[in-house]
Every structure is written in C-alpha cells, then in structure tokens.
Amino acid sequence: MHTETSPEATADSPPLSGALVGEPGKKLRICVLHPSAEGTAGPFTEEVDGICAPDYYDPEGQYEWTNVFLLKASATADLIKLVNSGKYDVYLNLCDGAWDEDRAGRDVVEALERLNVPYTGADAAFYEPSKIDMKKAAYFYGIQVPAWVHILGSPGQEEIGLAEVLAPPEQGGLSFPLIVKHPSGYGSVGMTKQAKVTNEEQLRQQVSFFVKEYGGALVEEFIAGREFTVLVVEEPPKEVGDDPQLSDLVPVAYTPVECVFGPGEDFKHFDLKFIDFANMGWQPCKDPELAARLKAAARDTYLATRGVSYGRCDFRVDTETGDIYFLEINPNCGVLYPPELAGSADFILTLDPDHNHRHFIAAILASAVHRHRCKQPAVAPAFISVGTAQPAALPITTADGNASDSPDADAGGSGEGKAPEAVVIAAVAEAMDVEPPEGEPTADGTKDADAEAQGTLTPAVEGVKVACTTEAVVAAPPALTPKRRSGCCGRRLGMVAVRPILRGRVVQSNEHSQFTLASRTWIERNWPAGSRERKMFNEAAYPLNEQVLVMPPTDLTKWTPLTHSCDPNTQLEGLNLVARRDIARGEIITIDFATLYGPKLSAPFDCICGAIRCRGRITPQDFMLPYITEEYSNEHMSSFVQEARNRSLQSLPAEL
C-alpha cells in the first residue's frame, strides 16, 4: 500500500465540507483508492491507463485528499488498517480491476461493504455485469440492443455458436458486418481493428482468439452510424431529513457526447482508447430530440442494471433508421483523470454546462454518505432475555386425543353439548377448521387433561383465563397484572432497535425484497414430523396464504425472528413492519402474532409480555377478538389474516 496525502488546509480555507458527515468545523476527509499497477501482467499498466487525480479538480482545497494505491493481494488487509485508523470520512473508490485481472477491483468493493463505510462507485452487484447480463436487463426494460450470439468456450460450443451466427437470417443468423468482443471485460480489452469482421474467415479468426484468451466471445451485428456516450450519476437530495431513503437518490443523465472518429476509424478498440486516442474527438449532442432520447435510454439502462453511484452508457444510433442501440454500461468508468489523460467521462464533464468535475465530485460524495445512512438498519438480531413467549414447537393435541405435528392440525367434533363459556371458542374454531385452545372445555364440556399437562416452552401467567371467552369476544380484555411462575425464561434470538425509531417510520422494509418461501405440501413431503426443520417451521414460518409460507432464510445468520406482545411496538403495513409508537434504542421489536399468523399459529402458548392488556394465553383464535380489529383494522393485519377473519365471520352462527 502506497499513500500520498495532500497538503494540510490553511486557516484561510473556504467554507469547510465536513458538514456532510455532521462535522462542519472540518474538511471532509477523502481517501482515494487507486488500483496499483505494480507488477501487473495485464494490459492496464500505469503507462497505458494513467493515474486519476481527483484533487486536481479541487483547486480551492474544499476537501482533504489522501491517495492510496492498493495491490490486489493485500487490498483487504490494507483497507482494514485504513478504516481502523479513523482518518477518513468517505472512500472514493477508483479501483476497477476485472475479476480475471491481477489488479484490485471487486475485492475492494466487497471489503468496503463488509467494513460498512461510505464509498463512491459501484457496489458488488453493479460492479462488473457481463455483457450478457446487460443485454438481459435491457430486454426486460425494452431497450434495443444489436442482434447478438454468445459463443461459449467449452468443448464443442465454439462450432455450435458459429453455426448460430452463420445461419440464414430467417433462422436467427446474424448479418455482416459483425463485431467480436470479450463477453464480460471492459475497456475494449482484446479488441483490435480486426474485431470488426466482414466474412466468415475473419469471424472464425476473431472468435478463436477470444475463446482461447478469455473463454468465450460475444458476436454482435455492427451498427453503422454515430456513437454516443452518456454518464448517469446519482444526484443526492438537496435537503436530507432524519429518515433518509434510497429513493431520494435520483439518477440524472448528463449531456450525451458524441465520439467523432478520425480517418480509418469507426469504433472504439483498445489502441484507439488508450494509445491513439488523439485520433478521436468529442462533441456534445446538438440535436435536442436525440439528446433527450439518449438520456432516457441511459437512465433506463442504469436502472435496469441496478446502477449505483455512477455509470457510463455507450450507444450507437443507426444511420438509416435513427434507432438507438445500447452497447454496454461501464460501472466505475475511468474518470477524474488530469486533462492530458482525459477519458470519455471526463469529456462529458467538460462539455456539460450544468455538471462539471466539481459538481460530479460533490454529487458522488454526498450520494455515498446518503446511501450509507440508508443502509444502516433500524433493527438487528440479538439474543434477548424477555418474558415474552414464543409459540411452542410442540405437537398439537386433536379432538381424538392424538398428537399431530402437521402444519394444519385440524380438529373434529360438532360442538354440541359444550359448556356455555366455550360456545364462541368452539364456533370460531369450527369456522376456522382448527382445534380449540388446549385446556379449554371440549365438546363434552370437560377439559383436555393431556393438553393441560402438556404445557408450553415458557412459563404461564397465573390467574389469567384464555382470552377467547364469550366475554372477551364482546369486549376488550380487562387490565391485568401478569405474574411469572417459577421457571427459566432463557435468552433467545429476537430483534432490537439499534437506533431511535419514530412512530410511523418503517422498522423493517420487506416490500420488494427477497424471501425464502415454501408450500405446506412440500414441507409435509420433505420434513417429517418431529424433524428439526419441521419444528423450526412450526415455530417461525408465517403464512401468505393457505399453502405458501414465509420461512426463515436458508442463511440463519440473517434471521430476525419477531417477538410477540399483546401491546406491540410495531404493526404491519403491507409487508413492511412499521412503528406503532416511538421506539427507543435497545427496545425489543414486537408484534401481535394474531395479526401475522392468525389461525395458523402453530400452537397456543402462555404470554408474559407484561402489557396491561396481556391476554395471558395466545391462541390461534385471537385474531377474531373484536378489539384486535378495532386496534389494527385490516390495513395492519396480514392479507392472509384479513381473509381468514372475513371467512370466519361469514361462517359464525347468526345468534353470535
């Protein structure tokens, strides 16, 4: 690791920039991460690629700059030292080594993510999409791309791919002239002037070269016409509140710039980009209508490829039709070179009247800080010691006295001859097709001794009858002072607030997110009764409908199980968990299981949440309590519970 630090700020420096990170009395301390070319065997040597100089574009000394050069072999260890030093506020990452290079690149991004620090440039997901992934993303966004064929390098695949390229057009073949590229690499790596081919012999030569050197080849129809490049940058909000959202960051397409080729050139190959770059020039797009279309295509491309921070998009405009064709997007594109080494993105910043280098630097730094704040979770998993019971992962005793470990332990019995206080319980249970709570009067008016003796995983609440009695259905439960029985309430995994959360704010964002799903049919077929997986399912899975459930993630280190409370601090809004009231840092995150599980709660359990309105005994019938509906309404229950409640109400006898 080689470090270069800019001169210290003087007393007469202009207004300081540390306000971005809450330190207005200091300059923002920026650590610029460069990929060291020392010892590289690849094409991007220091002589070819040059060294970026972002501090060149800060002549007033608004920021404090430190340049660090990272070797791939020691990048992670060096970053740990840099972060632990506490000397830097933001990391401006210019490392752009490809996955198959010997220069620092994606490994730097992954380390910055793991170290949880603000940084500019692509995240791991956006860092290096293959050209094939780009075309798939473009397809889903309706962005035109040249007709293409991906030729694989495995045995026999080269000829199969060539046959597809050379097939008649009516059978999906491509039309000459064609251009052959690296299927993943950037910087026109491997491309010479011979990459553009006009016959089969030339095509075979170029494909053979790329397959041998890079393990595959991308063949595209060459679009005759003008070439443009557009820089898309995440612009931060002008004002940041106390609840930053990623949606506050808006991708802005800068002025499209046309590449003007010199004599004998009509596409950007490696030598033209890095050696003979004087043989091409740049000019802003002068056609407003075309510029608007290019900007729209660039924004769509950036969104389709999950853009982060900034990226440069290359397009061709067909001479005959005027159609725009997307070629590729370059995350972490070369930028902030000194003027004598300016790259494509630098020319854009020079030619755009509204977005120069200083604006670009300010934008990506502010966006890095904003994105970092948004990524900090409001809650985190923690081992907690509380009196709140979880549903017991125990067999449910059915009406015939047999234990069942099924996700749907249905009860029998007609309900005739029940004790008066059990009438509503039985009616609701029968409507839901589930078993009445353990220990409650059964069809013959007696208590189930097996269920009474069975108990639950946690202590019960003394003096509290099951909540779903006739009286409880008519009115809210009375104020109670729960007492613990003797026994152990051990530490278990839950979720706690890691910062204060205001009422109405999202506690856990689950919309548009990935979940682990499973069907009851699959669970019953693959996880036998009594297995560890089945017990975890019974304890933690919650239903989306009668058949599909949300499971704990396959990576259990990411599991954030919820804790029940009869007066919880969160509630549902769609799939999101939202604060019902202000939540203090360190407070356990709770929800009423009646609103989440409804009739599919795996088993009743004794609650010692300590709430004034603690129901004492939590059962699969609780979602039918009138005060639950009054307190939460349909919009704060899961859609499954809403539907189950509606079905149950329609099935209840009229006299109830």
Tens-place pLDDT, residues 440-488:
433 333 333 333 322 222 222 222 233 332 233 333 444 444 444 433 3
Q: Which residues pair with 548 in a beta bridge?
A: 519
The pLDDT score that the predictor gives to residue 24 is 86
Residue 416 has pLDDT above 60, yes or no: no
Q: What is residue 71's DSSP assignment?
A: B
More confident residue, 534 or 89: 89
Contacts of 444 (CB under 8 A, 6+ apart): 417
SS3 656: coil
- Which is it for the CA torsion 58, 64, 67, 72, positive or negative? negative
How far, in Å, CA of 58 to CA of 356, rounded? Answer: 12
- Arithmetic mean of pLDDT over the chain: 82
How many Cβ atoms are within 10 Å of 136's Cβ, its own excluded? 14
How far, in Å, CA of 292 to CA of 451, rounded? Answer: 71
Contacts of 196 (CB under 8 A, 6+ apart): 177, 178, 179, 222, 266, 267
Tokens representing 363 are: 């934008």
More confident residue, 157 or 278: 157
Q: How many CA atoms lie less than 13 Å away from 26 in the CB half-sphere?
A: 13
Instruction: Tell me if 30 sits within 8 A of 64, measured CB to CB.
Output: yes
Sort strands 28-35 and 63-70 into parallel, antiparallel or unpaired: parallel
How many Cβ atoms are within 10 Å of 57's Cβ, its own excluded? 17
Q: How many residues are there in the chain?
A: 656
φ, ψ for residue 137, nearest 5 deg: -65, -40
Residue 61 has pLDDT above 70, yes or no: yes
The pLDDT score that the predictor gives to residue 428 is 37
Question: Could you give the C-alpha distances from 175 to 148, 149, 166, 211, in angstroms and in order?
Answer: 10, 12, 8, 21
The pLDDT score that the predictor gives to residue 100 is 81
More confident residue, 192 or 318: 318
How far, in Å, CA of 494 to CA of 587, rounded? Answer: 11
Instruction: Tell me if 179 sits within 8 A of 206, measured CB to CB.
Output: no
Stretch (H or E) spanning 107: helix 106-115
How far, in Å, CA of 221 to CA of 178, rounded? Answer: 5
The pLDDT score that the predictor gives to residue 4 is 54
Comparing CA positions, the residue from 604, 598, 607 lying closest to residue 647 is 598
Please tell me the pTM assigned to this model: 0.78
Comparing CA positions, the residue from 352, 360, 538, 550 lying closest to residue 456 is 538
Contacts of 110 (CB under 8 A, 6+ apart): 124
